[in-house]
Amino acid sequence: MRVTKHEHACLRLDSEGKTLLIDPGSFTLPLDDLNDLVGVVLTHEHPDHWTPAQLDAILSQAPGVPVFGPEGVVAAASGYDVTKVDVGDELEVGPFRMRFFGGTHSVIHESIPVIDNLGVLVNDDFYYPGDSYAVPEGIEVGLLAAPVGAPWLKIGEAIDYVLAVKPRRAFGTHDMTLSRVGLAMHRDRLKWATEQNGGEFLELEPGQSADL
C-alpha cells in the first residue's frame, strides 16, 4: 500500500490498483486520476477536511463512489449520500480494511462546540486520527499521519501523542496553517518523539509518498 500526502490533511492510499481518499478539504488542490477510487473517508465536518466543491469534483470522476463519515458529516453533507460510521466500526472497500477510533474532535476553545471526529486505521498498518489525539489502543502502527499544526494543537500534546502511539514511522499532516519555519520546528519535535521508540520520521511534502 502506498500513502501519498497532499496539501494539509488530505491523504491518498493506493493498493492493488485501487484508491482510497481521506479528508480532501479547502486547503487541498484539486485531485485527479481518480478513476479507480473505491471510497472517500471524511473524518469530520470542518471545511479544511471536506467541501462540497471538492466532493463534487471527486464524484464527477468517480460517480457513485461511497463516502464515509461520522454523524456530524452526514448532517453537514446532507445533500450527499454519506454512510455513517461510528467508533468501533469495521468495513472493507476494495483492498482497504478500515477500523474507526476516537469519536470527538479535540477542543479548540470552550466557546466552540465539540464535534464528531473519527480516526481511521487502514489495513491494520496506517493510522490517521483526524483532528484528535485518539490512540488506536493495542495496535502496532506501521505509519502514523500525525497532526503537526492546528488551532486546537499544542506541540507538547502532539509530542505526547506520538510517544503514546509509538509508530514505526510517522510524518506530519494538518500543516497548511504553519509557516515554513514553524513547520520545520514542529517536524523536528515530532521527529524526536518518533525516534524515542525506535521509529523513523518522514518529512513528506505534498505529492510525496511512503510505501507500506
**What average pLDDT is seen over the chain?**
97
Is the residue at 212 inside a domain?
Answer: no
Domain coverage including residue 25: 2-201
The pLDDT value given to residue 45:
98
C-alpha–C-alpha distance, residues 104 and 57, integer Å = 28
For 117-132, the pLDDT digits (tens) are: 999 999 999 999 999 9
Q: What are phi and psi of 183, to 5 degrees?
A: -60, -45
C-alpha–C-alpha distance, residues 78 and 88, integer Å = 23
C-alpha–C-alpha distance, residues 81 and 47, integer Å = 18
The H or E element spanning position 160 is helix 155-165
Q: Where are the beta strands (DSSP E) in 73-141?
A: 82-84, 90-93, 96-104, 116-122, 126-128
C-alpha–C-alpha distance, residues 119 and 106, integer Å = 12
The pLDDT value given to residue 122:
98
The pLDDT value given to residue 53:
97
Is the residue at 211 inside a domain?
Answer: no
The pLDDT value given to residue 108:
96
**Total structural domains within the chain:** 1
Residues of the chain short of pLDDT 70, as ranges, are none
For 143-184, the pLDDT digits (tens) are: 999 999 999 999 999 999 999 999 999 999 999 999 999 999
The pLDDT value given to residue 111:
97
pTM above 0.95, yes or no: yes
Q: What is the CATH number of the domain that holds 26?
A: 3.60.15.10
Is the residue at 20 inside a domain?
Answer: yes
The pLDDT value given to residue 106:
97
The pLDDT value given to residue 81:
97
Region of 71 (left: φ > 0; alpha: ψ -120 to 50; beta: rest) is alpha
Output the nine-digit C-alpha cell for 129. 486520527
